[in-house]
Structure 1
Amino acid sequence: MEFPSPLIGGRLIRRYKRFLADVRLEDGCEVTAHCPNTGSMLGCQPEDARVWLSESDNPKRKLRYTWELVDTGAGLACINTARPNGQARCAIEAGMVAELAGYGSCRSEVRYGSEKSRIDLHLSGHPSAPDAWVEVKNVTLCEAGVGYFPDAVTVRGQKHLRELMGQVAAGERGVLLFVVNHSGIREVRPADHIDPAYGKLLREAAAAGVEVLAYRADLESNGEPSGALGLGRAVPVCL
């Protein structure tokens, strides 16, 4: 999986109103870009950071540019939360996620669970394994090589864990897949210092049979964006 067009470099001036970011392009022009991330973006918006934008030629768009990548100082991070589901699906369908290989069908946004959720990916048609219900989470918070999730308190994330436990109890596979969109992350841990309730429930989910996986995107080549978003390597999850 690759970015749809060559990325444009610049420097972050500021992010504001959650969805907006002012960026100074390499030619000196200042533009306002769409910030496709409603979260805290903890550690991903340092002052004057190098950033990369994608450009759209859609005349109906209010903002021409979308913020995609940032150099956090500890590696490149993809902050566009619209990317991880596509990254995960492409990797699974290409057989790059060994634990989820062999399924004949992959569907997105399927309704399921007692709390009326929509699963990111539903895998079916495996010759010898039950259906897999895959919840995808984006990991960009990096501290000393450790990736932490979540980067803010997430009641919604706790709901997803309960739904996955329900699928396991029903005899199917519940899978939490961390898409590690930060080149500096070497392992993933629950962010107990940010949301201890989520960390506790994640451990309970794993003990109940929910599979917890993490795969890192190939974002960087010699310190510069590789132009790719593919998931290339599994990283350990430490609970």
Structure 2
Amino acid sequence: MNYPNIVKGSFINRPNRFIAYVQILTGKAAGKTVVCHVKNTGRCKELLLPGVTVLLQYHPEASVLGRKTEYSLIGVYKEREEDILLINMDSQAPNLAAYEWVLGSPAIREVKREVTYGQSRFDLAFQLIEKDGSGNMTDIPAFMEVKGVTLEEHNHALFPDAPTIRGVKHIEELIHAKKDGYEAYLLFVIQMKGMTRFSPNGKTHPEFKEALKKASSAGVHILAYDCQVTENSMTVDQPVPVFID
């Protein structure tokens, strides 16, 4: 998961979910104030504060592609009491990073993206290679839904940062797939390093937490992984303990 043409900027404001005003700090356009596409429609109020340093991807082909903006906001340096934490904010990055991660597993094959199942569409579908009761190798069909996590409190990763009816629906669909004989996974891609645990954000959306409990009881695999994040890349890295209650 790599980004070309990255520059730093100073965040000014965000008049709506889709755009932000940023003053560029590095590169040929340093000093210029630009309108950026925000690649995350979540609230991100704890991240996008006036004056924080953000990462922008410059799109030199913007006019050719018909883009309204030449820059996309993809990352932020969150200033904490003890340090500064680099967080990838691109809501499209977790799916691609998860796809790359799953492709690297020797126990998985035939990986596909955006697969329709019944009235549902899952982020990933693949075949798990496992031994059956007789010791023979067999393929087990599986689905995976991916959620990106950008909210943290004292190294505790939380999802969601705003109520998500769509997220609850995805969990219910995974439960149905599990009942139909598929393996089902919900992967939380934590878009930063240094987190000691992951939990559903019951204060923000209690229904999501209850749905996650139901899914876990139904046999849906609940996974959380952190990421190695640089200014121009993001890679799924290590498992993070999941605490649902």
Asked if TM exceeds 0.5, the reply is yes
Structure number having the greater strand percentage: 2
| Conservation of the 8 A alpha-carbon contact between 1:174 and 1:211 | yes
| Conservation of the 8 A alpha-carbon contact between 2:128 and 2:142 | no
Q: 1:162 corresponds to which residue?
A: 172
**In structure 2, what is the Cα distance between the partners aligned to 1:173 and 1:20?**
39
| Conservation of the 8 A alpha-carbon contact between 2:20 and 2:38 | yes
**In structure 1, what is the Cα distance between the partners aligned to 2:92 and 2:52?**
21
Q: 1:183 corresponds to which residue?
A: 193
Q: Secondary structure at the match of 2:233?
A: coil
Within the alignment, does 1:71 sit opposite 2:57 as a pair?
Answer: no
**In structure 2, what is the Cα distance between the partners aligned to 1:169 and 1:145?**
35
Q: Percent identity, aligned pairs only?
A: 31
Matches within 5 A, 1:97-112: 101-112=106-117
Q: 1:98 corresponds to which residue?
A: none
| Conservation of the 8 A alpha-carbon contact between 1:43 and 1:142 | no
* CA drift at 1:204: 1.0
Q: 2:2 corresponds to which residue?
A: 2
RMSD, matched Cα? 1.5
Point out the more displaced range, 37-46 or 59-68.
37-46
Match of 1:61 among 54, 58, 67: 67
Amino acid at match of 1:62: K
* CA drift at 1:154: 0.9
**In structure 2, what is the Cα distance between the partners aligned to 1:118 and 1:141?**
25
Within the alignment, does 1:153 sit opposite 2:163 as a pair?
Answer: yes
Query: What's the TM-score once normalised by structure 2's chain length?
Result: 0.88
Structure 2 alignment gaps of length 5 or more: 130-136
Number of positions where the alignment pairs a residue of Structure 1 with one of Structure 2: 226
Amino acid at match of 1:2: N
* CA drift at 1:183: 2.8
Q: Secondary structure at the match of 1:182?
A: coil
Alpha-carbon deviations, 1:163-182, whole Å to 9, x = none? 10111111111100001002
Point out the more displaced range, 36-45 or 125-134.
125-134
Within the alignment, does 1:233 sit opposite 2:238 as a pair?
Answer: yes
Matches within 5 A, 1:25-104: 25-26=24-25, 27-58=30-61, 59=63, 60-74=66-80, 75-95=85-105, 101-104=106-109
Alpha-carbon deviations, 1:117-145, whole Å to 9, x = none? 21000112634352111000000000111
| Conservation of the 8 A alpha-carbon contact between 1:142 and 1:184 | no
Q: Secondary structure at the match of 1:219?
A: strand
Alpha-carbon deviations, 1:12-59, whole Å to 9, x = none? 001122110110111211111101111212422122110010111222
When residues 159 and 70 of structure 1 are mapped into structure 2, their CA distance, relative to the original with a 3 A threshold, is same
| Conservation of the 8 A alpha-carbon contact between 1:42 and 1:151 | no
**Structure label with greater radius of gyration:** 2
**In structure 2, what is the Cα distance between the partners aligned to 1:62 and 1:197?**
37
Amino acid at match of 2:127: S
**In structure 1, what is the Cα distance between the partners aligned to 2:9 and 2:143?**
39
**In structure 1, what is the Cα distance between the partners aligned to 2:46 and 2:110?**
37
Matches within 5 A, 1:186-225: 186-220=196-230, 225=231
**In structure 1, what is the Cα distance between the partners aligned to 2:128 and 2:197?**
31
Amino acid at match of 2:235: G
**In structure 1, what is the Cα distance between the partners aligned to 2:174 and 2:221?**
9
Query: What's the TM-score once normalised by structure 1's chain length?
Result: 0.90
**In structure 1, what is the Cα distance between the partners aligned to 2:208 and 2:57?**
33
**In structure 2, what is the Cα distance between the partners aligned to 1:9 and 1:87?**
22
